[in-house]
Structure 1
């Protein structure tokens, strides 16, 4: 069996793809009519503001990824910062949150 390792690094394209996927999800497709009814053309401005704010979150994750280049994502960051038990709870809450977002 070969000694394989994960590639340590995120390109700008990868970061933008991850941020866009996390932000967009399925909510826009399901709720776009509600957004347009309530906000009208301001929906475009709202989505741009949300995109910019989400980009900052993605940049924070990029910094964490370069500081802690281990597989596990948010679980690893929380575990290293707040301890094993908190990391365990946060990891399972993330799994439940991702499952709840499924359409």
Structure 2
């Protein structure tokens, strides 16, 4: 006798625990529109955004679209990039979205010589 467990069989609490370990980009790309129950869970979790220098522009564009519906859930924002002027990133994210629950915001410049 074999018993198969599916992702959808997990309790909401397990999803909350799993999502605590994932970044917003990973959560939104992997779980958005999977099914109604998971979409409902996604509406209530805190989001931690980390944008890495390798995919900075693509990540910002993707997140900016999804943050239209989830900006109130963002509790931390961390951007690692080789950017001399952060004003364009700040303008893109903060002029489009109100992060009313933001608790932490970090901009880390990476030295391009490393």
Bigger proportion of residues as helix = 1
Larger radius of gyration: 1
Normalised by the length of structure 2, the TM-score is: 0.23
Q: Greater strand share, 1 or 2?
A: 2
TM-score (norm 1): 0.25
